[in-house]
Amino acid sequence: MDYFRRFTFLFATPNFDAEDLEGIRFNQIIEEIERSGFEVVKARKLEDAEIAVQTDAAIGCMVVDWGKKGLEGKTAALINLMRRRGLDFPIILLIRRKRFEDVPVEVLDFIDGYIFLSEETPPFIAKSLISRLKQYAETLKTPFFGALVDYAEEGNHLWTCPGHNGGVFYSRSPIGRVFMEHLGEAVFRDDLDNSVLDLGDLLTHEGPALKAQKEAAQIFGAEKTYFVLNGTSTSNKVALAALVTDGDLVLFDRNNHKAAHHGALLIAGGIPVYIPTARNAWGLIGPMRWESFDEEALRERIRLNPLVKDPEAWTKPRPFRVAVVEQCTYDGTIHSAQMILDKIGHLCEYILFDEAWAGFMKFHPLYAGRFAMGLTGLGPDSPGIIATQSTHKQLASFSQASQIHIKDRHIKGQKRRVEHRRFNESFMQYASTSPFYPLFASLDVGAQMMKGRSGEVLWDDTIRLGIELRKKIRAVRREFEEKETRPDRRWFFEPFVPDRVSIADASREGAVHDVA
């Protein structure tokens, strides 16, 4: 399908009678648009339009009727809702000239144009609307995925790898044909050889591939970002191979994924100083024990470590090459990254935060101070900061999609800093020379989905749903326990949340009140 025709028009027009002159002209506009191959969704109620705006991401242009008096408030509210949710598709007001002066200035700020039905012909209006949709759709093309779409739509033949040749080979076998039809032709057309110059180089980071990673870095708050195509297991190995060499001291969270063990300790030869972690009676994985961060205790553990051959290692100002922290555990316990930095930052040349399960934290104020790329106050005496994220876990990417974020310009010129050339050698050590382009494109698109207001809106919706679900489970539990007469059956699921939460009371300095 043509890229632009993947987008639809939404007409929120509750006031038109198909039998009168305006209604006839209005229907002619829709017919012209549909004749051009675009789908038109009609909402006869503003409430239906609101539902469509919140659930249909295919909308590429919305036409709203500024019609009968009394509906202006609802129409303005619909427009405001769209912009609050970070939706940037064009909004066009359908209005009578005599009512133009009634449109509030704050509404004019949010719309992209207006149509006087009696001023232009339906074919011209339809062309204008289609042009606006195409302009909007063009802005959505992300650096790499957009280039991939353009390349595919050119109908290029590729006479190198992969051998399925855009899916043609599959189509010559019964089960191959079923496989191709199941996945859709586009994924086979987008599975390209790494020699396609139009898409840049995924190993040396050039062209659209580099631009995609640069924009992802801006979105996630990093200085540099690398897209990794075989999971955060590999992202951790890439980062640790660049950082650690034989005999380096590694401050090591006991909760760390086995990939961190492989990368820092088994392959690179680092010497661990382990940080004990907590488990509760239900076996849930908790945080690192805070007392384990005591500097005096850490230095003593270095001094007594039989693997450490340097008798003066424990006295060095910065004894640890890197601290490796499981920033979000498998069960959802999230540390304060800022507290970790403040407590042990001066002891480490780098801190690697494994954020495999929490790549979303940049996009909601609830997680302020809890993610690596949001750390503040970094200076020449601070450690370099690295975060690895499994975007396929909690964000929108294909399985195995991962990324590495780096923030270390504050130590530029220092011997301990890992420059791009060295880091990329480590990256290429683990990267395939036959990368799967749709997987790389999913990282590009997944990052852009979080851009601007959209990221916070999406995650605010998700967090609120989680809160409401937990509240409902607790309400059901209370009701069940009240009604059940048999003690042995008086049981129901319990969410893993505190019974009470203390919230600062703005009306009284230093005071708090509890919320059950």
Give CB contacts under 8 A, 24+ apart, made by 117-121.
Answer: 117/22, 117/25, 117/26, 118/22, 118/25
What tokens appear for 304 in the block?
């007594």
What tokens appear for 240 in the block?
């640790």
**Of 248, 354, 408, 444, which one is the catalytic site residue?**
354
Instruction: Decide if 393 is catalytic.
Output: yes
Do 5 and 36 touch, CB atoms closer than 8 A? no
Instruction: Decide if 354 is catalytic.
Output: yes
Q: What is the rounded distance in angstroms from the CA atom of residue 237 to the CA atom of residue 106? A: 52
Q: What is the rounded distance in angstroms from the CA atom of residue 2 to the CA atom of residue 22? A: 32
Do 191 and 437 touch, CB atoms closer than 8 A? yes
Q: What is the rounded distance in angstroms from the CA atom of residue 323 to the CA atom of residue 327? A: 11
Return the closest-CA partner of residue 458 out of 17, 37, 57, 15: 57
Provide the angle, in degrees to the nearest 10, between the axes of the packed helices 437-449 and 143-153. Answer: 130
**Of 224, 237, 335, 393, which one is the catalytic site residue?**
393
**Of 224, 237, 257, 335, which one is the catalytic site residue?**
257
DSSP string, 446-502: HHHHTSTHHHHHHHHHHHHHHHHHHHHHHHHHHHHHHH---GGG------SS-S-EE
Q: Where in the sequence numbering do the catalytic residues fall?
A: 257, 354, 393
